[in-house]
Amino acid sequence: MEKTGDITMKKRKVLFVDESGGAWPWGRQLREEGGTWGQSAYTFSTDCTRGYDWLVVYSAWPDVALLTSVPHNRRIFVAGEPESFHRYQSRFLAQFGTVITTQRGTRHPGAIFMQPGINWFTGVRFQGGAERFRSMLDFSDFEAGNPVKTKLCSVVCSSNAVTRGHRLRIEFVERLKQEFGDQIDFFGRGTKTMADKDEALSDYRFHIALENSVHQDYWTEKLADPFLRGCFPIYSGCPNLDDYFPEGSYARIDLDKPQQAIGTIREVLRSELDYASLDQRQEAKRKILYEYNIFAELEKLYSQLEQRQAPNAILETNLSTQLYSDHEIKDLKFSRRLRRWFRDRWGVSSR
């Protein structure tokens, strides 16, 4: 409970589920102790016992049965993947009252098209054992200021080559190696490995941030992380990024125009844009911490949805509802098609 004057404010209880099953340290993005943001107290788990006011599912959940007594109008799904990588089934999305997504083809009455608030990677150490992810930096560390810069420029690129965007990024990084040599430090598989992405950011004035895809509103930790660590981003990705961040806080490049992109990078690295843009980048960092942080976005959304709901709206059902994952629904569709094929071809059921 929180007291405001003579009024005792009851915090809403939110279950936050993601594909890590509670292993990812989402709590480090909360600015208050005790797993809270504003009027919301969070539990990071897949244990959907009764007593939650809201259910938030981020991208997916582990292969476990997800049972909840939270009613449909208080279930939120955040689509963390762009349409070029994964398209969510309509029947899967129908299990939620609200869907946050960048996928413009989504047909859902509660769809909200906006940036998905991807979790920050910098300051998380990837390690083996029971504790897969260890938080090395939390909200207060990012608030405190930026590290001193002693190196020029870095870029991070994985070896994933699933989509055209992945392959384009890998090809461009190879071009960077040829053009710039040791002027740029390269991180990722096959080059300099890192346990924590902060190794590729904290010391660097500039960072080349390359998204895997180009979609409206879709920008990720690839941009948020360098802003949080005080780097000047040289960015390829989201076409409407100016809707989110101040002019001059970053430089844009287009991987479909590699020669022009190389020229822009060369010009930026010769400049002092990182010093000249300090105010703009500080504002960008503030927005990431307090506005575009997924928990800040959700706090606004809860209030808006609660105001729209009738005073007598159902806040908890007596029976638990089983939610099916996107993959399970695909399997169910395939199973139905298979049974139909057997019936049409042989006049018998596949069972």
Summary mean pLDDT of the chain: 89
In contact, 22 and 45? CB cutoff 8 Å: yes
Phi, psi of 338 (to 5 degrees): -65, -45
Helix (H) or strand (E) holding 4: strand 2-4
Neighbours of 5 (CB within 10 A): 6
| Predicted TM-score of the model (pTM) | 0.89
Pairing of strands 321-323, 66-68: antiparallel
pLDDT at 343: 47
pLDDT at 312: 56
| DSSP state at residue 143 | H
The token duo for 194 is 């890192």
Q: Which residues of the chain form CATH 3.40.50.11660?
A: 144-280
Cα–Cα distances (Å) from 28 to 32, 48, 231, 349, in that order, read 9, 22, 21, 52
In contact, 72 and 95? CB cutoff 8 Å: yes
Instruction: Report the alpha-carbon distance of residue 98 to residue 70 in Å, rounded.
Output: 13
Asked if the model's pLDDT at residue 20 lies above 60, the reply is yes
115 pLDDT band (50/70/90 cuts)?
Answer: very high
Angle 168-170-176 from CA coordinates, rounded to 5° = 105
pLDDT at 10: 86
pLDDT tens column, 173-216: 999 999 999 999 999 877 788 999 999 999 999 999 999 999 99
Neighbours of 242 (CB within 10 A): 12
Task: Point out the least confidently predicted range of 118-132, 257-271, 311-325.
Answer: 311-325
pLDDT at 314: 56
> 68 CB contacts (<8 Å, ≥6 apart)?
15, 48, 52, 55, 75, 320, 321, 323
The token duo for 275 is 């010093």
Neighbours of 282 (CB within 10 A): 16
- Tell the CATH topology of 144-280: Rossmann fold (3.40.50)
In contact, 151 and 205? CB cutoff 8 Å: yes
pLDDT at 345: 46
The token duo for 10 is 């009851």
pLDDT tens column, 49-78: 778 999 999 999 887 778 899 999 999 999
| Higher per-residue pLDDT: 309 or 31 | 31
